[in-house]
Structure 1
Amino acid sequence: MYKLSQITTLLQKSIYLNAKRKISMYPLPYSCICGQVYLKKEYPNHRYEITRVHSTQSDQHRQKVVIETTTPKIVINKLGEKLPDQKLPDRTDLDSKAGFWKEKIDPYVKLARWDRPIGVYLLYWPCAWSIALGSLPGTVPLQSSLYTAGLFLVGAGLMRGAGCTINDLWDRDVDAQVERTKNRPLVTGAVSETQAVVFLAAQLSLALAVLLQLNCYSIVLGASSMLLVIFLGATFNWGALLGYSAVTGALDLSVCAPLYVGALAWTVVYDTIYAHQDKEDDMKVGVKSTALTFGAHTRPALSGCLALSAASLALAGHNAGLGLAYQLAVLGYVAHAAQQIYTLDTENPEDCASKFKSNSSVGAIILMGILAGGYKQYMDNIADNVNHEDTTKSCLFS
C-alpha cells in the first residue's frame, strides 16, 4: 500500500507533467514587420502549422487594429522601424497627392468625359473603318497606316473632350435641372467657366497639332468640318471621310460617301437610345431630342435608320471590293442592332444606358469585317506598290 505522502507526490508530478505537455503543444506567437501576429505550432518530425491571428503586435507590445482603406499606414510605419535608412513615402504626402488629383485633375477628366471613354470609341470607329478602307490599295506601308490610326485615336479623345466641354458650357443651366447631369463640374462649381474655356482652348490646340500631322488635303478637309459644327451628328462622323483622305491623299466618294451615311444613320440609332434616359427632364426644361421627336414611334424610326445604315455600309464595302467576310460582318451588325431596338425599354434609363454602351462592339464588328474581307486584296496590292509615295506624310512637317 502507498503512503499518503507518496500519493500526494505522485499527483503533483502528474499535474506538473500534464501542464508541461499542454504548454509545449501550445502554439508560439510571433509577428512580421507588418504587425500581423501568427501562431506557430510544432509537430513531431519538425512539421509546423502557422495560423494568422486577427490582431496586430510588435515584438515588444500590442497595437490597436487600424483599418485603412487608402494608405497602408501600419506597413509604412513598420518598414520605417525596420529600415530606418530607407526613404519611404509619408502618409501626408500620399494624402496630399490623392487630394490634388481629386480636387485639381478629376474635375477636368469628368468635364471631358475621359472617365467614360464610350464616347471616344464611338467617335473613333468610323475613323478606323475609313483608314482601313484607305489602306486597301496598298499604296502606303503598314506602319504608316498604324501611325495614322494612332493619331486619330488621340484626336478622337481630344475632340470628344472638347465637344463635351462646349456642351457643358452651353447647357450648364439646363444640366442643373436634370437629375443625371446635376453633378457635372461646371454645375457644382468644381470648374469655373473661365477654367473651362482655357481647358477647351488647350484641347483644341492639341487637336490642331494632331490635324497638322496629316497631308494637306486632309488638313483642309478637317478644317472644313468646323462649318458643320452646329450639326453634331455630321461632325461626329467626319472621320469616316477624313481617315480615308489621311491615307490616300484624296477621297473616293463611291466608298466614302456611303460609309459616311452609314455611320451617320448608326449615330442616330445609338444617340436616340441614349436620349431616352433624359426624356422626362428634357420635356420639363424644353430640350428637343430625337427621343422626344420619335416618341412612341421610336422602334419604327430606329428600324428605318438601321436599314439605311446597313445598306450604306454594305454598298461602301461592295464599292471597295471587300469579300464575303465583310458582308457577314454587316449582317452581324444588323442582328446586334435589331436586338437592341426590339428589346429596348425606353422607360428604363439603366436599360437605355446599357444598350447605348454596347454599340462600341458594333464598331469592332465592322472593322474586323473590313480587315477580313480586304486582306487578300491588300496583300496583292501592297506587293505591286512597293515604291509608291507615302501619302500619309504631313505637308507641313515632313
Structure 2
Amino acid sequence: MTIAPDRRVADSVPTSWVDRAPPAIRPYLRLARYDRPVGFWLLAIPCWQGLALASVSSGLDWLDLYWAILFGIGAIAMRGAGCTYNDIVDRDIDAKVARTADRPLAAGTVSLKQAWAFLVAQCLVGLLVLIQLPWPAILTGLGALALVAGYPFMKRITWWPQAWLGLTFNWGVPVAGAAALGTPFAPEIVALYVANLFWTLGYDTIYACQDMEDDALVGVKSSARALGGTIPLGVLTFYMVSAALAALAGLVSGAGLMFAPAFAIFAAHLLLQARKLDPADGPECLRRFKANKITGLLLTGAFLLGAL
C-alpha cells in the first residue's frame, strides 16, 4: 500500500507543534488528535473534577496532586487511543465527510496495520497509568472498555450517540471517586457523573452542528440532527440540567461557602454558550465547543474552593 503525504485536518488548530514535527510521525500525531488538543482537556477535566469533589469530604493532600498528574497522562494516552480506534471503525465514513476527509486513515497517510499498532501502543501507556491507582479505581477504570468499544457504532444505531459519548468521556469521575473515596458510587460522585453526561450531551451537540448536512448525506445520526430546529433549546436544557446536578453534587458533599460564588461563574459561562449558539455558523459552533475547556475548569475550581 502506498502511503499518501501528510495532510492537515480541517478542524485542527491554525498552527501547532504537530505541523513542525518530523514528517514520519506527523500523521500519527494527527490520528491521535494532538493537533486538536481540546479533547485531551475534556477527557482529563472530569477526572480532576472527581478528585476535587472528593476532596470536599476527604480533604486535599499531595496524593491528590499525584493522581491528578496520572489522570492527565492517562487522558492524553486514552483520548489518542480512542480517536485512533474511532478512525479505524469510521475510515470509510470519514472519507465522505468534508470535515473528516483529511484524517490520516481516510486520507491514506497511515495504513490500517500501522493504526492498529499505534492503538496498542497508546493503550499500553494507559494501562501503565491505570495500575498506579488503588484497586477500586483500577477495577472501575476497566469498566470503561465496553463504553469505548461501543462508541463508534452508536452513530449508526441511535440518534443520540452524544449521550453514549457522555457516558464514556466522563468515566474519569467514578474512577477518581474510587481512587479518592474508595468507591465510585458515593452520592456526590454519581450526581457529578450524570451532570457531566448532560454537559457532554450539550457540547457535543454543538460540535455535531458542523456536520449536519454531510451526516444526512451519509446516513450518520446525531443529536443535532434529531433536535433539528430546536437545537438551541435542547442545548440550553442539557446545560441547565447539568448545572443543577453539579450544584447538587456540591451540596451533597458539604462544599463550603466559597463554592457558591465560584459555581455561579461556572453556571453563567455554561449558559452563555447556549445563548450565543447559532447552529448554522460552523466556525462559531467550533469556538463554542472549545470554550467548554474553560467551563470544565471553572467547575473544578469551584469544587476545590468548596474544599477550603
TM-score bucket (shorter structure): 0.7 to 0.9
Aligned residue among 53, 62, 65 for 1:143: 62
Q: Which residue of 1 aligns with 2:98?
A: 179
Structure of greater Rg: 1
Q: Which residue of 2 aligns with 1:68?
A: none
**RMSD after superposition:** 1.8
Mark the runs of 5 or more structure 1 residues left unpaired by the alignment: 1-97, 376-398
Q: Which residue of 2 aligns with 1:160?
A: 79
Distance of 2:108 and 2:147 partners within structure 1: 31
Distance of 1:259 and 1:291 partners within structure 2: 24
Query: Greater helix percent: which structure?
Result: 2
Contact 2:99 2:211 in 1 (8 A): yes
Mark the runs of 5 or more structure 2 residues left unpaired by the alignment: 1-17, 151-163
Q: How does 1:84-233 map to 2 (within 5 A)?
A: 101-138=21-58, 142-229=61-148, 230=150, 231-233=164-166
Distance of 2:107 and 2:274 partners within structure 1: 35
Contact 1:317 1:327 in 2 (8 A): no
Distance of 1:252 and 1:192 partners within structure 2: 42
Corresponding residue SS for 2:207? helix
TM-score by length of 1: 0.67
Distance of 2:54 and 2:275 partners within structure 1: 35
Of 314-323 and 324-333, deviating more is: 324-333
Percent of residue pairs identical: 43
Corresponding residue SS for 2:25? helix
> Once the 2 structures are TM-superposed, how far is the Cα of residue 138 of structure 1 from its aligned partner?
4.2
User: 1:62-113 CA distances to partner (integer Å, 9 max, x unpaired)?
Assistant: xxxxxxxxxxxxxxxxxxxxxxxxxxxxxxxxxxxx9994421111110000
Distance of 2:267 and 2:256 partners within structure 1: 18
Q: Which residue of 1 aligns with 2:289?
A: 356
Contact 2:55 2:304 in 1 (8 A): no
Distance of 2:179 and 2:287 partners within structure 1: 33
Q: How does 1:1-398 map to 2 (within 5 A)?
A: 101-138=21-58, 142-229=61-148, 230=150, 231-375=164-308
User: 1:132-177 CA distances to partner (integer Å, 9 max, x unpaired)?
Assistant: 12233446x7221100000000001111101111111111111111
What is the one-letter code of the residue matched to 1:216? Answer: W
Distance of 2:233 and 2:72 partners within structure 1: 34
Query: Greater strand percent: which structure?
Result: 1
Q: Which residue of 2 aligns with 1:7?
A: none
Contact 1:133 1:370 in 2 (8 A): yes
